[in-house]
Amino acid sequence: MAKAIWTGSLSFGLVNVPVGLYSATEDRSIHFNQFRAGTSERIRNKRVGEETGEEVAYSDIVKGYDLGGGEYVIITPEELNSVAPGPSRTIEVTDFVELSAIDPIYFDKPYFLAPQGKNGDRAYELLRKVMAETNKVAIATFVMREKQYLVAVRPENSALVLETLLFADEVRDPVKEIDVLPVQASFEDREIEMAKLLIDSMTTAWQPERYHDTYRERVEKLIEQKRRGTVVVSEGPRAEPAPVVDLLAALQASVSAARQSSIAAPAPAKAQRSREPSGRAGRSRRKAGAIETRATSRTELVRQAADLGITGRSKMSREQLEQAVTEVSTRRRRKAS
């Protein structure tokens, strides 16, 4: 079971709810250690003096704020502690706002809040239920590990989620930061309608399990191949997409492809055993059916779908990919016969 990384109380008005804070996400990135090439010697990082090259103990290190021009303001740990926020065991709610009023760019990292002890169960569930019914989120501040956080507490199906927020001065203004914004452009009515039609044809229900970190899957496969002593050969360079010349034509082609993708994956029919014709027709049929859904990973199915010219494959689940590959392969076999 997960352990609380912070315990305290959620306070709104005169109500205090004992809660614990739990990580809501996990880092699934693949991490590597460093080695000297051709050896089993690990590489270690050390804190060394720039002038002497000697290793410096952590207790002898102070912080310096760069003023520019080679000048620094030196701050000791004691001086920094004197202005640090004091320890706190309260998530102090100051406001309730509409969830839709918060731009997603402000959301930083999510955590779960759970009641601590039976005394807080009813107050916890009451707050979650009422916030869900009113579509409100609580804005609060609290201190964890000597850092002050601005947070939004919002209801989920069975829990409260605490999401750390960025402060206003931490979010950049894109117009001030990027010199090509805002974009000045005009469009024909047909372009607007076709773009809306394309978006509508690609609109689907949000299913997070459909999306996978395909790069991580390839790295894991590479690691397993190396572990088994397999010689790994990389593919050639991937073809880059051609630049869009005619926007309307590209939109029309995209809508057509999206429509074909939506009907290209019916439920697979039950497998039927049939006798393969002999001779040239049989060879053609077997060749057309060479690409089957033997793949055990979604990545391999995506590659098969690409070979068959199936569009919209990046948005398909593994089951949808398998169905689409089966359908197109069957259609090709029928044409070949």
- Higher pLDDT: 39 or 321? It is 39
Q: What is the mean pLDDT of residues 172-196?
A: 92
The per-residue pLDDT for 301 is: 75
Q: How would residue 268 be classed by pLDDT, with cut points 50, 70 and 90?
A: very low
Q: Tens digit of pLDDT for each residue in 54-74?
A: 999 998 999 999 999 999 999
For the residues 80-93, what does the mean pLDDT come to?
85
Q: Where are the beta strands (DSSP E) in the chain?
A: 6-12, 15-23, 63-68, 71-75, 90-98, 107-115, 136-144, 147-155, 160-165
What is the percent of the chain where pLDDT is above 90? 47
Across 207-229, average pLDDT: 90
Burial label, 289 (beta-carbon count in 10 A; 0-12, 13-18, 19+): middle
Confidence (pLDDT) at 253: 78
Q: What is the pTM of this model?
A: 0.65
Main-chain dihedrals φ then ψ at residue 68, nearest 5 degrees: 95, 155
User: Which of 3, 4, 5, 19 has the alpha carbon at shortest distance from 127?
Assistant: 19
Look at the block and give the residue holding tokens 């074909």: 260
Give the closest residue to 310 by CA, choosing from 258, 235, 244: 258
At residue 254, the pLDDT reads 79
DSSP state of 233: -
Q: Which residues pair with 111 in a beta bridge?
A: 23, 162
What is the per-residue pLDDT for 239?
Answer: 60
Confidence bin at 264 (pLDDT 50/70/90) = low
Q: Which domains does the chain have, with CATH numbers?
A: 6-25+84-170 (2.40.290.10), 185-232+244-337 (no CATH)
At residue 82, the 3 state secondary structure works out as helix
Residue that has been written with the tokens 């057509």 in this structure: 256
Confidence band of 299 (pLDDT split at 50, 70, 90)? low
Label residue 277 by pLDDT band (50, 70, 90). very low
Q: Considering only residues 216 and 314, tell me which one the structure prediction assigns the higher pLDDT.
A: 216
Distance CA 126, CA 120 (A): 10
Assign 236 a pLDDT band (cuts: 50, 70, 90): low
Q: Averaged over 1-9, what is the pLDDT?
A: 89
